[in-house]
Amino acid sequence: MSSFEVERKDDGSVTTLYLKGYLDAHTAPELESAFQKLVDEKRFNVIVSMAELTYISSAGMGVFMGFIETMRDNRGDIKLSNLPPKIYRVFDLLGFPLLYEVYEEEKQALKRFRELMGESGSEEAESPPEAR
Amino acid sequence: MAQESAVYQLKLPSRTENLEIIREFVARIAQKAGFDDEDVAKIELAVDEACTNVVKHAYEGGSDKPIDVVVKLDYSKLTVIVTDQGKGFNPESVEVPDIKEYLAELRVGGLGIYLIRTLMDEVKYDIRPGVRNQVKMVKYFVGEGGETRRSEEVFIGTSQSAHVPKDEQRR
């Protein structure tokens, strides 16, 4: 039985990672290698869907922090979706909603990526929220 | 009965795989003591962060050193004491004055210290590098009218090592 799983789905230039189980210092390296693989493949538009994530500690959140810059430097982003209340509370404690776009539904995040791509060249598309 | 205190102890090798066991141990005790789900989650996370720091920093990944987790309950509070014999650190040096600034710099690590302070009511470090480092974290029972909301029937004083004590139905 696995305590943590990352499932991946590619849809055009956007990849969704589905997290399942608990994300702590023990399982964070698994997520790290999933992200590293995306960077190696030059896939920088990432949605992380957390519907089935039961627990997260700072070790898990550190993975997002470790990759957000790389993704944004390459005109991509990490967008978060489907956070269970328990998980959202931890993100909120650390002020993550200021740094990351958080969506209720994965499809909203996907739509946002599509909009940004369609509007590429517009100012909005090139400015991540915190870069104002 | 309400004045009765209980002590639970868990001693494990400092491996990340044991974090799950530590969390379940502490969460179960907090739950049975009457904390609501949100407080249980806070206690669980704070203890995880303290133990993660031990594994990653105090022992620098060395896996055969012990982590000692003691949970104490009395009528007003739950106290968790995490002890290691690693190299220790100066909690002052990891002061996080402005979390927004900290996050903006995308600094990974050190978040644990901030979280522990935010999640628990009291946090105290006693650092003696190489001898014994201890972090003591307290969460108070807060009920309406300042009364304890802890259920009285659950805990009877026991002190045990290396395993989760079974519930003792001594009532």
Give the pLDDT score at A124.
43
Q: Does A129 touch chain B (CB under 8 A)?
A: no
**Looking at beta carbons, which residues of chain B come within 8 Å of A62?**
108-109, 111
Q: A56-60, A122-126, B6-10, B160-164: which range is least confident on average? A: B160-164
Inter-chain Cβ pairs, chain A and chain B, closer than 8 A: 70
Of B49, B103, B107, the CB nearest to A57: B49
**How close are the terminal C-alpha atoms of chain A, in Å?**
45
Q: What is the pLDDT of residues A55-98, one digit of tens each?
A: 999 999 999 999 999 999 999 999 999 999 999 999 998 888 98
According to the model, what pLDDT value does residue A115 have? 93
Instruction: Note the maximum CA span of chain A.
Output: 47
Judge whether residue B146 has pLDDT over 60: no
Q: Does A36 touch chain B (CB under 8 A)?
A: no
Residue A32: list chain B partners with CB under 8 A.
Answer: none
Show residues of chain A in contact with B111, CB under 8 Å. Answer: 58, 61-62, 94
Range A4-105 has CATH code 3.90.1150.10: no
Is residue B157 scored above 90 in pLDDT? Answer: no
Report the C-alpha gap between B64 and B18 in whole angstroms.
Answer: 12
SS3 category, B159: coil
- What is the interface pTM, i.e. ipTM, of the complex? 0.85
> Mean pLDDT across the stretch B98-122?
74
Domain ranges in chain A are 4-105
Query: Could you tell me where the beta strands, DSSP code E, fall in chain B?
Result: 6-13, 66-73, 77-84, 122-128, 132-140
A51 vs A106: CA distance, rounded Å: 10
Residue B165's pLDDT band (boundaries 50, 70, 90)? very low
Which of A60, A50, A58, A110 has its CA nearest to residue A84? A50
Q: Quick check: A122 pLDDT over 60? A: no
Letter for the amino acid at A68?
A: I
Intra-chain end-to-end CA distance of chain B, in Å = 10
The residue with greater pLDDT, B55 or B94, is B55
Residues of A in Cβ contact (< 8 Å) with B37: 86
Does residue B22 have a pLDDT over 50?
A: yes
- For position B79, what pLDDT does the model report? 98
Contact between A3 and A21 under an 8 Å Cβ cutoff? The reply is yes
pLDDT at residue B102 is higher than 70: no
pLDDT of B94: 60
Q: What percent of chain B has pLDDT over 90?
A: 49
Domains of chain B from N-terminus onward: 6-146 (3.30.565.10)
Q: At A37, phi and psi to the nearest 5?
A: -60, -40
Residues in A closer than 8 angstroms to B44, CB to CB, are 55
In which residue are the tokens 């133990």 written?
A: B51
Query: Is B41 close to A86, i.e. CB distance below 8 A?
Result: yes
**pLDDT tens-place string over residues B55-74:** 887 777 666 789 999 999 99
**CA-based nearest distance B75→chain A, Å:** 27
Q: Which of B37, B48, B106 has the CB atom closest to A24's CB atom?
A: B48
Strands A45-56 and B132-140: unpaired
> Alpha carbon of A82 to those of A19, A86, A109: distances in Å?
10, 11, 10
pLDDT tens-digit map of A46-55 = 999 999 999 9
